[in-house]
Structure 1
């Protein structure tokens, strides 16, 4: 039998490695930013076009590379970070595998410009699909500039899997946030399609958070600080009243490296136990410093998941540190079981001075005197009652008569209603046409049998078609607010609201001002409570960032779906009889009553024959 195992060509192996390392433009951004940090740069610029699909460029002022190093940097497993296998457990750098540039060069057009400080000229290398197109000597400033153009140009299938520019840009900004938050001692600048999105100067950790998420974030932060032999914790958690529906502002940094850990996230959630509303998540920005020998970073291609030697200890320390901070800054209620509230001084006696007690002694008292004299003296000191007991009952009879007279003059607001045992046949038909089951389903009778409707999904369908109609004909009714409502968002969230402003106004929202960090709302759609406005907009922003409107769906459709999901009747909400019947009637007046906006079944029917079979 002929041999069937063979070595893969280098360009194929590089493309396979690229599939692990480079999933989208945000992966390129992460790798290039980390390389710039490892190069010792204190100023880094990130330039992207078309959410990174056309161009991702990172410019740093680090130490640069020599001619030989510049060429070797594109080879697989070529790295300056480690020499032996033991070095994997003493890592203090971002990258160490030597796969990033090789993987990126296999699926894009890459141009590298670099120069060391003591050199007069630098070098430039152009790569296309792992092939060196040119290598020349050029004049360039100190540091390194890497330009990645036309990502996935030689793998069309991978390029087709990329999402819309809005979604891909969100992933790029997320990676930018993760790297810039971990290194406040480095200045970062982000340019998107020629406009400056972020300009983060060198600062401390708190100021870096404020520069990214807005000035309003400063008042939301609670410091967390804990030093032990095992773990050093520093950073901030958000106050419970500012918890969000999404998990966007949750950051763990282990030795200045962003990680994801559901186990440690549970520790934070348990520290906030009892302080958060249902369905909300706390914000946190926490730096964890541990011994590099106690963690293993080399378990995931993107290095966002690491393995701890003793997770249980870290869990307990993290939970107690956050809980202590919440109590120390009077965020969480503190119970002192040793304090007796009866010993507290009342407010009315707070300024009064204590009076000296007086002692009076009966100097004439002699226990050895005769009993008759003692008994007589006791009688002398006894106070006679003011009235006898018979006086308590004087006039009781007259009062009783008066009471009877008063009760005879009492008038009832409504007469007592009596229900006849035998009711009209018409009334029997009108009563109990719908029932609510477990505050989730509405049961109604139909000619063929029975109908069971999901109240949340049904209301979603009703609201979705109403919003879509209002946005299409642009005749929505707005409810004016007595006082303008000011809401604060991050800069990228404000950009999304600006994109959807016209559609939001067609649904009934009215804006008086939209600045870089806040918006002023003077009108909301009819039926939308003022307290729900911020929740609706947060949910809308999250849907736009995470859900992609394909070519068949527009931003208007996505907006209508998001608002319908936020405002629909929730599971567990009790409905009156007329509300139940109104919901059933409105659903069957819709164009597509069978499914919700997310293509889920809104109701099911069961015929009498099917019910009969259940009793066979």
Structure 2
């Protein structure tokens, strides 16, 4: 019987390995940027086209590679970072597995140019699908340039699974931001389709955060710093009032490597306990330095998950450090309820010594002297102005006040006579009826609505009663209103007396630019759009000015996974998001008129049975169902 098990060819094995390392263009960006950082580059350029599908190029001014290293770096398990297994627990660099370049070369066209500083000539290599096409000597600047073209050209099935350019571009921006935040001392530039998206000069951590996430980020940050034997923590967290719906601005860096950790995230959320609204997420940028031998990085293909030796101690230290910073900068409430913030010592007076107060005494002052120093006008006991003490004919005479209480009774006699002439007071008499309720009252009682627990609206009908979920019903009403306005382009706007300035990060501004036309159709009027802010001068009629930040924030949160390509899907997503933000929430008291309007608006909709999120808006309970409840 012939053998069944066979060894895979090298090119097939490389393609399978590439599935672990290269999932999308952002994976290539991550690997190439980390290699440039490991090469001790001080200037790194990232150039992409068509969201990385056509081109991903990283140019650095690092150490470069020799001719032998340039050829060997594309072999599997070839790395300069480790020599033996023990080195895995003492890593100070990024890429160490030796599979990244081999995997990328297996599924793309790769062109590499590299030169070391002490060499006169560099090396130019072209690879297509793991096959070396050419290797030449070339005149090149110091450093390395990797150009990855036509990603997944030989795996059409994998290429078809890629998302739209907008989604893939956002993933690339995320990877770029993670590397740039971890290395603030390196100059990063980012170009997409020929346009400069980021230009981040070398700076400190705080300035790097501000440069990436717009200028208004600076006022949101609260510094965190703590140093122990287990871990050294530094970084920033946001003030509670700037918390967002999304988790886009949450970064953990361990030994300058971005990681994801739900356990450490829970420590941050515990530190904010009692300071955040439901569903709100704080922003944080925290850098943790731990001994390399206390962590295991090699537990995940993308190296974004790390195993710590003592997670519980790290959890407690991180939670305490964040909580201490929030309290130190008066972000968290204090226990002294009678404390007056106006009595706090200003920072520039903190170390100053108190000055001895001086007392000025007028030795010539005599209270019994006839010459009174104060020559200003005086008032008597009743507030009347009197002449000065030195004026002629001055003497103290209290002014007599004339009582004017008689004026209170002027005209009273005339009114009394009128009442007497008319024969006294007359009261309206109520008409007696034979029945307890008249027909009009009974009809009103039948049509009356009732609110239960500030959540449900009960409306009696002939066959029984209808119980309406007020939040879902209002979502359906708003959803159809917004969708109609965006489809027919006849939304009305209310002009603002003072334009509204809102600030967003670079990635959020790109989303708003994509959605601007659809938002205009709902009633928004954009007066100005900048790199990190928008100026809104008009709003839809049913949106208050104070609700605009919440509406746009919810919309950006809902579109984190990408904007639908078709216009109808875009309108549908925007209408759902705005309806969710503006709908009446559970726990809101409604007047009888508001209840009736909501019920009437719901049943005037095209699909009143379900909310925009396919949940029932009301149930009907018949009289027969109630009778069964009372049946013994």
TM-score, with normalisation over the residues of structure 2?
A: 0.80
Structure 1 pair 461–419 and aligned structure 2 pair: CA distance change class (3 A)? farther
Q: Tell me whether 1:494 sits opposite 2:509 in the alignment.
A: yes
Structure-1 residue corresponding to 2:581: 566
CA drift at 1:138: 2.4
Structure 2: distance between partners of 1:4 and 1:436 = 72
Q: Deviations over 1:383-423 (max 9, x none)?
A: xxxxxxxxxxxxxxxxxxxxxxxxxxxx9xx9999999821
CA drift at 1:82: 0.7
CA drift at 1:196: 0.2
Structure 2: distance between partners of 1:61 and 1:476 = 54
Structure-2 residue corresponding to 1:151: 151
| 2:560 aligned to which of 545, 555, 576 | 545
Structure-1 residue corresponding to 2:382: none
CA drift at 1:485: 1.6
Structure-2 residue corresponding to 1:422: 436
My pick for the range that moved more, 69-78 or 435-444, is 435-444
CA drift at 1:17: 1.9
Structure 1 pair 124–180 and aligned structure 2 pair: CA distance change class (3 A)? same
Q: Tell me whether 1:536 sits opposite 2:577 in the alignment.
A: no
Structure 1: distance between partners of 2:5 and 2:590 = 68
Structure 2: distance between partners of 1:419 and 1:106 = 95
CA drift at 1:207: 0.9
| 1:575 aligned to which of 583, 586, 590 | 590
Q: Tell me whether 1:31 sits opposite 2:46 in the alignment.
A: no
Structure 1 pair 83–587 and aligned structure 2 pair: CA distance change class (3 A)? same
SS of structure 1 residue aligned to 2:15: helix
CA drift at 1:209: 0.7
SS of structure 1 residue aligned to 2:59: strand
Superposition RMSD on alpha carbons, in Å? Answer: 3.0
Structure 1 pair 273–352 and aligned structure 2 pair: CA distance change class (3 A)? farther
Contact 2:245–2:557 under 8 Å retained in 1? no
Structure 2: distance between partners of 1:447 and 1:147 = 74
Alignment of 1:160-559 (within 5 A): 160-335=160-335, 422-431=436-445, 433=447, 434-446=449-461, 450-551=465-566, 553-559=568-574
Alignment of 1:104-115 (within 5 A): 104-115=104-115
SS of structure 1 residue aligned to 2:58: strand
Structure 1 pair 569–154 and aligned structure 2 pair: CA distance change class (3 A)? farther
CA drift at 1:471: 2.0
Structure 1 pair 180–419 and aligned structure 2 pair: CA distance change class (3 A)? farther
Contact 1:166–1:545 under 8 Å retained in 2? no
Structure-2 residue corresponding to 1:394: none
Structure 1 pair 418–131 and aligned structure 2 pair: CA distance change class (3 A)? farther
CA drift at 1:573: 2.4
Contact 2:446–2:461 under 8 Å retained in 1? no
Structure 1: distance between partners of 2:559 and 2:51 = 15
CA drift at 1:427: 3.1
Structure 2: distance between partners of 1:538 and 1:67 = 52
Structure 2: distance between partners of 1:415 and 1:211 = 79
Structure-1 residue corresponding to 2:348: none
CA drift at 1:265: 1.1
CA drift at 1:574: 2.9
CA drift at 1:11: 2.4
My pick for the range that moved more, 518-527 or 425-434, is 425-434
Structure-2 residue corresponding to 1:138: 138
Contact 2:166–2:562 under 8 Å retained in 1? no
CA drift at 1:498: 2.7
Structure 1 pair 272–160 and aligned structure 2 pair: CA distance change class (3 A)? same
Structure 1: distance between partners of 2:177 and 2:29 = 11
Structure-2 residue corresponding to 1:597: 612
CA drift at 1:492: 2.8
My pick for the range that moved more, 112-121 or 3-12, is 3-12
Contact 1:76–1:98 under 8 Å retained in 2? yes
Structure-2 residue corresponding to 1:102: 102
Structure-1 residue corresponding to 2:364: none
Contact 1:163–1:548 under 8 Å retained in 2? no
SS of structure 2 residue aligned to 1:431: helix
Structure 2: distance between partners of 1:548 and 1:606 = 41
Structure 1 pair 9–424 and aligned structure 2 pair: CA distance change class (3 A)? farther
CA drift at 1:238: 1.0
Contact 1:108–1:149 under 8 Å retained in 2? yes
Structure-2 residue corresponding to 1:57: 57
CA drift at 1:539: 1.8
Structure 2: distance between partners of 1:47 and 1:421 = 86
Q: Deviations over 1:301-341 (max 9, x none)?
A: 1111111111111111111111111222222223369x999
SS of structure 2 residue aligned to 1:512: strand
Structure 2: distance between partners of 1:418 and 1:256 = 88
My pick for the range that moved more, 510-519 or 248-257, is 510-519
| Gapped regions of structure 2 (runs ≥ 5) | 344-356, 360-424
SS of structure 1 residue aligned to 2:476: helix
CA drift at 1:298: 0.8
Contact 1:255–1:289 under 8 Å retained in 2? yes
Structure-2 residue corresponding to 1:385: none
Structure 1: distance between partners of 2:577 and 2:483 = 11
Contact 2:523–2:538 under 8 Å retained in 1? yes
Structure 1 pair 258–576 and aligned structure 2 pair: CA distance change class (3 A)? same
